[in-house]
């Protein structure tokens, strides 16, 4: 029997992936994973449907989330694992973050209108997410579908990137706030894709706030960079996690199981909390 392995960074169509929970578990099973975590942006709505769908296979689903936060205008993603995803305080907090996301989308569409792009409606963008965690990738998809830009990356470069013409920031929450929220729920907070985010110098501050892990194993990352973050994790006594960041068809350079970590790392995550 193959050793047990996990992919701890997977999105569903409850945030900005095109994949349903059923598609996610089918793919995860097909590539031999024994454990997955659903880490949708600012929502836990996809976890239960995925658990339900996973019953057809022997596939473990652990609770996860990818919280957005911001420091010095930079978008920082904090992953949370093994927390109580039914906590009423969490659900309330996420409702606030999500209503900000909807308002923000309204403002971004307004900015596009001022730039002469007048045929985008809030409802059609929101309809692409099965929860209220609507985001820039949904707007990018509509811009491509309407032929306003040729591809998603151009949508970001021209309009949606952090310094793009139609950019509007999200709910203001610091990485420390996000880390503490996960801690309060009895979960493990992990800095997502540190090689993409590039805030290594802030890691000591995050550790002080309760950060417990680094997402060392991430799709499309070189061995040298992985080795570097293994070293940082050791230096700060942090757990190492990993995942594919699969988004179905909305992110073509990765897929479920592109990263498989040994189940031993999941066990460490469970004992940490
Ligand atoms: P949001 O949570 O709505 O701010 O959207 C964030 C998502 O947009 C990220 O997870 C990325 O998938 C995508 N994204 C952000 N900036 C860029 C960029 N410059 N180029 C391509 N995709 C981006
Ligand atoms: Zn995403
Ligand atoms: Fe992320
Ligand atoms: Fe992600």
User: pLDDT per residue over 215-268, tens digit each?
Assistant: 999 999 999 999 999 999 999 999 999 999 999 998 999 999 999 999 999 999
- Rounded Cα gap, residues 252 and 270, in angstroms: 31
149 plus 240 within the same structural domain: no
Kindly state whether residues 123 and 230 are assigned to the same domain.
no
Question: What is the distance between the alpha carbons of residues 85 and 104, in angstroms, rounded to a whole number?
Answer: 25
Domain assignment of residue 214, yes or no: yes
What ligand is nearest to the CA atom of residue 245?
A: 4
Do 141 and 231 have their domain in common?
no
Beta-sheet strands, E only, within the chain: 5-10, 35-38, 60-62, 64-71, 74-81, 188-191, 213-218, 239-243, 261-262
Please indicate, yes or no, whether residues 71 and 181 belong to a single structural domain of this protein.
yes
Q: CATH number for the domain including 137?
A: 1.10.150.650
Which residue has its alpha carbon closest to ligand 1 atom 13? 137
pLDDT tens, position by position, 125-180: 999 999 999 999 999 999 999 999 999 999 999 999 988 999 999 999 999 999 99
- Domain containing residue 127: 93-160
| Separation CA 246–CA 248 (nearest Å) | 6
Verify that 222 and 116 share a domain, yes or no: no
Regarding whether 261 and 195 lie in a shared domain, the answer is yes
pTM above 0.85, yes or no: yes
Domain co-membership, 120 together with 55: no
CA of 172 to the centre of ligand 3 (A): 17
Of 160, 187, 216, the residue at which a domain comes to its end is 160
CB hemisphere CA count around 172 (13 angstroms): 3
Q: Which residue has a Cα nearest atom 5 of ligand 1?
A: 136
Q: Could you tell me if 15 and 76 lie in one domain?
A: yes
For residue 194, pLDDT over 70 is answered with: yes
Express each pLDDT in 40-89 by its tens digit.
999 999 999 999 999 999 899 999 999 999 998 889 999 999 999 999 99
């Amino acid at each position: 029997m193959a050793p047990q392995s996990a992919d701890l960074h997977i999105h569903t169509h409850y945030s900005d992936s095109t994949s349903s929970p059923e598609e996610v578990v089918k793919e995860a099973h097909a590539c031999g994973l024994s454990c997955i975590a659903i880490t949708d942006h600012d929502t836990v709505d996809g976890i239960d449907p995925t658990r339900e769908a996973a019953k057809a296979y022997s596939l473990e689903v652990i609770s996860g989330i990818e919280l957005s936060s911001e420091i010095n205008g930079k978008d920082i993603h904090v992953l949370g694992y093994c927390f109580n995803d039914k906590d009423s305080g969490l659900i309330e907090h996420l409702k606030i973050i999500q209503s900000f996301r909807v308002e923000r989308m309204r403002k971004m569409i307004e900015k596009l209108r001022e730039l002469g792009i007048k045929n985008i409606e809030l409802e059609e963008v929101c309809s692409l997410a099965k929860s209220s965690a609507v985001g820039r990738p949904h707007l990018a998809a509509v811009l491509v579908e309407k032929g306003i830009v040729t591809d998603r990356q151009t949508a970001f470069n021209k309009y949606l990137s952090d310094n793009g013409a139609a950019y509007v920031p999200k709910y203001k929450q610091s990485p420390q706030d996000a880390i503490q929220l996960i801690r309060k729920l009895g979960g493990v907070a992990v800095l997502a894709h540190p090689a993409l985010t590039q805030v290594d110098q802030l890691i000591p501050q995050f550790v002080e706030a309760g950060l417990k892990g680094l997402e060392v194993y991430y799709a499309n990352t070189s061995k040298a960079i992985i080795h570097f973050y293994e070293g940082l994790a050791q230096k700060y006594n942090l757990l190492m996690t990993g995942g594919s960041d699969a988004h179905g068809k909305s992110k073509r350079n990765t897929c479920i199981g592109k990263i498989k970590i040994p189940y031993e790392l999941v066990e460490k995550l469970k004992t940490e909390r």
